[in-house]
């Protein structure tokens, strides 16, 4: 159990007269009580290790049980299918979505699965799966106000559930076209500080997860999410984890699902002007390793994958990434568990129309083997 998960029990009369506290006497109890009262702020330094998958609110109790049987210990719960806050005026909370989350937390706790809450979408974003630099979120402060209200609601509702909730992922896949960040709605660092302040007004203990931005700096020029870490101003809050997504190169990882991307790129192999192999993956993620060492903070790869249409190449890609994550000491969640068929590790690479699940696909075996480290590090 990490420091972010500890809930301190009251030292009442019953506690004092039970177990070893009674045997050791009142002076020992006083020392322990003073130690609790003077404890410092919660830190994310010991967060994890977590190895799991992303998923959505609509999974069943059986889905959770099956995931637990694979050996995963973390589910990153997204809400792209049923947002926690409705995206049209008057921007009400979706109370049904919150109730579903309440139930999902019970199922996860029953199976020993930890949870990261990832709202994934919110008012001011054009689509439910990611953000764009052109989104109204980066143009109008009213959408900052709405996101702030959403996180206030989440933090207040779940402030006492950090024995199962191990992270609040405050904004999925931020994007901007300004570099450096300018004052105004496009200032991502300012938005981060505001959301952290609001969350901490309600919840002092749950770890906050910050995703670095992708930044469009000009025609065909782009700062990756790993390079985007270098443009963040780390907040003073010590209970923060940084969480880039890894889908490089996109022409390979998204083949067959994103318009304009042909089937066929291989891994290892040449994509564009670059030959992608394990060494190139290491190079692409190097900024996160340097950021981790500089600030002594945890790194969490909250999404990575390759479509099943990438075949055996995709299996090798996922395997190499997991090897590197483990080498670097990073937690991770594969995308995804029983959601979009294109990313489903239980569906074999036999064609886009094949939706039959199997417990013996090569990719699922890679994940199962990696999850075994949760039991035997």
What residue spans define the domains of the chain?
1-40, 45-374
pLDDT at residue 41, as a whole number: 60
Q: What distance in Å separates the CA atoms of residue 339 and residue 96, rounded to the nearest whole number?
A: 20
Taking all residues of the chain, what is their mean pLDDT, rounded to a whole number?
88
pLDDT at residue 19, as a whole number: 36
pLDDT at residue 353, as a whole number: 61
pLDDT at residue 183, as a whole number: 83
* pLDDT at residue 313 greater than cutoff 90: yes
**What integer is the mean pLDDT of 231-243?**
97
128-158 confidence digits (pLDDT tens): 999 999 999 999 999 999 999 999 999 999 9
**What integer is the mean pLDDT of 251-274?**
90
**What integer is the mean pLDDT of 98-117?**
99
Shortest CA distance to 144 belongs to which of 130, 174, 123, 127?
A: 123
- Phi, psi values for residue 49, rounded to 5°: -80, 145
- Phi, psi values for residue 165, rounded to 5°: -90, 120
* pLDDT at residue 284 greater than cutoff 70: yes
Q: Any residues with CB less than 8 A from the CB of 87 and at least 6 apart, and which?
A: 121, 122, 123, 125
* pLDDT at residue 301 greater than cutoff 60: yes
Q: Count of residues for the chain?
A: 377
Helix spans in the chain (H): 13-16, 19-24, 26-37, 61-70, 95-111, 141-157, 188-202, 225-228, 250-253, 278-295, 311-328, 362-371
- In this structure, of 29-43, 88-102, 248-262, 297-311, the range with the lowest mean pLDDT score is 29-43
Shortest CA distance to 189 belongs to which of 180, 177, 198?
A: 180
160-185 confidence digits (pLDDT tens): 999 999 999 999 999 988 766 678 99
* pLDDT at residue 221 greater than cutoff 70: no
CB 335 within 8 A of CB 303: yes
Q: What distance in Å separates the CA atoms of residue 174 and residue 325, rounded to the nearest whole number?
A: 22
**What integer is the mean pLDDT of 222-244?**
95
* pLDDT at residue 23 greater than cutoff 50: no
Q: What distance in Å separates the CA atoms of residue 100 and residue 85, rounded to the nearest whole number?
A: 14
pLDDT at residue 219, as a whole number: 53
Whether residue 175 is preceded by a cis peptide bond, meaning omega within 30 degrees of 0, is no
91: left (phi over 0), alpha (psi -120 to 50) or beta: left
The pLDDT-based confidence of 348 (bands split at 50, 70, 90) is confident
- In this structure, of 65-79, 276-290, 349-363, the range with the lowest mean pLDDT score is 349-363
pLDDT at residue 20, as a whole number: 31
pLDDT at residue 7, as a whole number: 30
pTM of the shown model: 0.88
Rg of the chain taking only CA atoms, in angstroms: 22
pLDDT at residue 39, as a whole number: 42
The pLDDT-based confidence of 32 (bands split at 50, 70, 90) is very low
Sign of CA dihedral 189, 332, 47, 7: positive
367: left (phi over 0), alpha (psi -120 to 50) or beta: alpha
Q: What distance in Å separates the CA atoms of residue 285 and residue 301, rounded to the nearest whole number?
A: 10
The pLDDT-based confidence of 351 (bands split at 50, 70, 90) is low
The pLDDT-based confidence of 26 (bands split at 50, 70, 90) is very low
The pLDDT-based confidence of 349 (bands split at 50, 70, 90) is confident
pLDDT at residue 328, as a whole number: 98
Is residue 210 classed exposed, middle or buried when 0-12, 13-18 and 19+ CB atoms within 10 A define those classes? buried
Q: What distance in Å separates the CA atoms of residue 84 and residue 317, rounded to the nearest whole number?
A: 33
Secondary structure of the chain: what % helix, strand, coil (to 5)? 40, 15, 45
Is CATH 3.20.20.80 what the domain over 45-374 is classified as, yes or no?
yes
Q: What distance in Å separates the CA atoms of residue 208 and residue 196, rounded to the nearest whole number?
A: 8
The pLDDT-based confidence of 327 (bands split at 50, 70, 90) is very high
pLDDT at residue 35, as a whole number: 36
Residue 57, Cβ neighbours under 10 Å: how many?
21
Q: What distance in Å separates the CA atoms of residue 119 and residue 163, rounded to the nearest whole number?
A: 19
Sign of CA dihedral 58, 71, 335, 235: positive
Q: What distance in Å separates the CA atoms of residue 170 and residue 150, rounded to the nearest whole number?
A: 10
Q: Which residues pair with 276 in a beta bridge?
A: 269
Strands 331-334 and 165-169: unpaired
* pLDDT at residue 37 greater than cutoff 60: no
pLDDT at residue 15, as a whole number: 31
Q: What distance in Å separates the CA atoms of residue 358 and residue 153, rounded to the nearest whole number?
A: 39
pLDDT, greater one: 56 or 35: 56
Q: What distance in Å separates the CA atoms of residue 297 and residue 216, rounded to the nearest whole number?
A: 26
pLDDT, greater one: 360 or 17: 360
CB 119 within 8 A of CB 154: yes
Q: What distance in Å separates the CA atoms of residue 268 and residue 313, rounded to the nearest whole number?
A: 7
* pLDDT at residue 304 greater than cutoff 60: yes
**What integer is the mean pLDDT of 7-29?**
33
* pLDDT at residue 2 greater than cutoff 90: no
């Amino acid at each position: 159990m990490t420091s972010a998960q500890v809930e301190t029990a009251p030292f009442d009369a019953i506690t004092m007269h039970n177990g070893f506290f009674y045997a050791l006497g009142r002076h020992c109890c006083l020392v322990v009580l003073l130690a609790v009262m003077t404890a410092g702020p919660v830190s994310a330094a010991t967060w994890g290790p977590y190895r799991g998958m992303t998923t959505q609110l609509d999974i069943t109790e059986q889905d959770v049980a099956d995931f637990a049987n694979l050996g995963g210990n973390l589910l990153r719960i997204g809400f792209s299918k049923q947002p926690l806050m409705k995206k049209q005026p008057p921007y009400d909370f979706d109370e049904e979505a919150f109730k579903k989350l309440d139930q999902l937390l019970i199922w996860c706790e029953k199976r020993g699965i930890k949870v990261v809450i990832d709202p994934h979408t919110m008012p001011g974003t054009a689509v439910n799966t990611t953000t764009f630099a052109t989104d109204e979120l980066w143009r109008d402060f009213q959408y900052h106000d709405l996101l702030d209200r959403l996180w206030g609601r989440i933090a207040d509702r779940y402030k006492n559930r950090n024995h199962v909730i191990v992270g609040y992922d405050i904004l999925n896949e931020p994007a901007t076209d300004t570099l450096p960040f300018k004052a105004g709605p496009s200032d991502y660092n300012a938005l981060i500080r505001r959301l952290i302040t609001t969350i901490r007004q309600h919840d002092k203990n749950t770890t906050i997860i910050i995703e670095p931005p992708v930044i469009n700096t000009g025609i065909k020029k782009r700062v990756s999410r790993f390079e985007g870490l270098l443009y963040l101003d780390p907040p003073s809050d010590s209970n923060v984890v940084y969480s880039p997504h890894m889908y490089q190169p996109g022409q390979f990882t998204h083949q067959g699902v994103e318009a304009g991307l042909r089937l066929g790129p291989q891994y290892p192999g040449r994509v564009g002007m670059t030959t992608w192999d394990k060494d190139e993956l290491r190079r692409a993620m190097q900024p996160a390793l340097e950021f981790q060492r500089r600030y002594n903070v945890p790194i969490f790869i909250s999404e990575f994958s390759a479509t099943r249409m990438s075949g055996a190449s995709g299996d090798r890609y996922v395997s190499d990434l997991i090897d590197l994550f483990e080498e670097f000491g990073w937690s991770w969640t594969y995308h995804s568990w029983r959601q979009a068929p294109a990313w489903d590790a239980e569906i074999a690479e036999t064609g886009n129309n094949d939706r039959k699940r199997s417990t013996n696909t090569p990719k699922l075996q890679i994940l199962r083997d990696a999850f075994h480290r949760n039991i035997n590090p």
